[in-house]
Amino acid sequence: MKITWTTPAGEYPRLYGDILGQPHVLIAGATGSGKSVLLHGLIYTALFQSPATVNFVLIDPKRVELAGYKQLPHTLKYASEPDDIRAAVRHSVDLMERRYKTMQKNGQRIYYGADIYIIIDEFADLITTQKKDVLPSLCRIAQLGRAAKVHLIIATQRPTRDIINGQIKVNIDARIALRCPTAQDSRNIITVSGAENLPRYGQGYYLTPETMRPVLVNIPYTDPAALSARVDWWTRQNRFRRRWIMTE
């Protein structure tokens, strides 16, 4: 599957990438820099695919940002409480391992099935409160998820060294830096300074495994009315509704 955000014509490239080429994505920037806009735009793009090809595991420590998507037929699990979050992460690892067993049995190198996006709205809160419980599992997904089509999309408003640590950087090499408070925060995300000089909205630096250097891109804006209409349409398609299933 391709992740594509349409952007207005301008001097900077579109934000565009192949999820199998960059199996996980980190989005980071200061409070109010547009992380939620970018995250909702990504989900909007994914909703042009059916639940047969795209599934979500939504982890929402703040309890409000992703709640509007929990009734989608694409959503396998929505978790906002600590116990539910731990269970969702653990089950995601179990599902990934089941897929590898299926691949081994069938002699496959890539799993033939839906892409699963584990979307974490506020990674800093998760690490602050449940680091020992969830970080090892998330690192395992980051290391092994690509072939099983299990992907991490992580957003945080605290791009500090204790949150975006070495384990995250090693395993998530596609990163989007929005406006940051300091040059050090920028370096924590994309290895170089510069994001501290971005405007508050509309632009970011995109580091990909292909370029190995940050590229200045336009950050697209998704009309809330269009997003709401697409979510409502899918929510009404009850025949596609799926629950959390551990076997495939």
Q: Which residue has the higher pLDDT, 153 or 17?
A: 153
Q: Minimum mean pLDDT among 11-15, 95-99, 130-134, 191-195: which range?
A: 11-15
Return d(Cα 25, Cα 168) in angstroms, integer.
10
18 pLDDT more than 60: no
Query: Is residue 230 within 8 Å of residue 44, measured between CB atoms?
Result: yes
Taking residues 111-122, what's their average pLDDT?
A: 93
Task: Provide the mean pLDDT of the chain.
Answer: 86
120 pLDDT more than 70: yes
206 in the Ramachandran plot: left (φ > 0), alpha (ψ -120 to 50) or beta?
A: beta
75 pLDDT more than 90: yes
4 pLDDT more than 60: no
Helix (H) or strand (E) holding 234: helix 224-235
Lookup: tokens for 211: 């370029």
**pTM (predicted TM-score):** 0.88
Return d(Cα 111, Cα 149) in angstroms, integer.
7
Nearest to 154 by CA among 78, 81, 68, 57: 57
Which tens digit of pLDDT belongs to each residue from 150-192? 999 999 999 998 888 888 888 898 899 999 999 999 999 999 9
Lookup: tokens for 159: 């791009």
